[in-house]
Structure 1
Amino acid sequence: MRLRCDLSFALINLLAIVYPTYQASPGRQSCSSIRKRLEWRSLSQEARISYIKAVKCLATKPSRLGKNFNLRRYDDFQYVHSNSQGQIHFVAQFLPWHRQFIYIYEKELNSCGYSGALPHWNWVLDAKNVTTAPVWSSDSKVR
């Protein structure tokens, strides 16, 4: 268990080293713009297209986890999340870890041209029939 915990922290630290992060400056500041995460249905078609293009862009970039991994940049995030979930999801670091993780993912999406905040899916709205949810759209304009 201790080894898995150490591995989890090593992986997030690796991400923090490899991916640039935000450095807060001391003192009180006000936010000039707050990023609001919108539910998928609330995004314009243009925003959906931009998001999907950015995700596809990440799938073309090489991994930053090293040459020993046969991954792409998009896969880096899945790999780190999957290999950390047992040590992250049920501990006090859950919220700050995920905030940092999502922040890094958003920055990578931004590098691929997506300017919005990471959208979310309110799956409760589709609980009666998840398979018809708009996130699974086959609209060729959004693919």
Structure 2
Amino acid sequence: MTERDERDEFDRIVEGLELDVEGLPDLDEAAAEHARREEERQRAAAEADELPHELRDADEVEEEPFYRQVPPARLRPARGTGLAWAGVAAAPVLALLSAVVGFWLPAEVLAVLTLVAVVSVAWLVWHLPERGPSHRDWPDDGAAL
């Protein structure tokens, strides 16, 4: 579409419009009103700066933004967490190493290693931090630092 075609289409669209220019506000008056209000605002701000802090309006005093104070996170894991991780990692590693080396473990030892791994995983899942509806930060609304 050329520029001439675009202009003709626009002219056709606005051809039937009748605009009432008399009802529109005068732009010069609006600019003068805005300048007057800005001047008054600056004068009031200058006067407020001269007043003691106690006499200033509460609205003019900038407040710190609201934030929720979160207590510090517990840095030490629950008792037994290290032992549970050792059970999760060590049981399969021992079974794999024994097979690679060629030392076959008895079925009872493999059963115990499997039980240790399963119990360790269950203990870790059981001790996960609660994040459900009864937790005070639920639903989670951001990262915890």
Instruction: State the TM-score bracket (shorter-chain normalisation).
Output: under 0.3
Q: TM-score, normalised by structure 1?
A: 0.24
Q: State the structure with bigger RCO (CA 8 A, min sep 6), 1 or 2.
A: 1
TM superposition score normalised by structure 2: 0.23
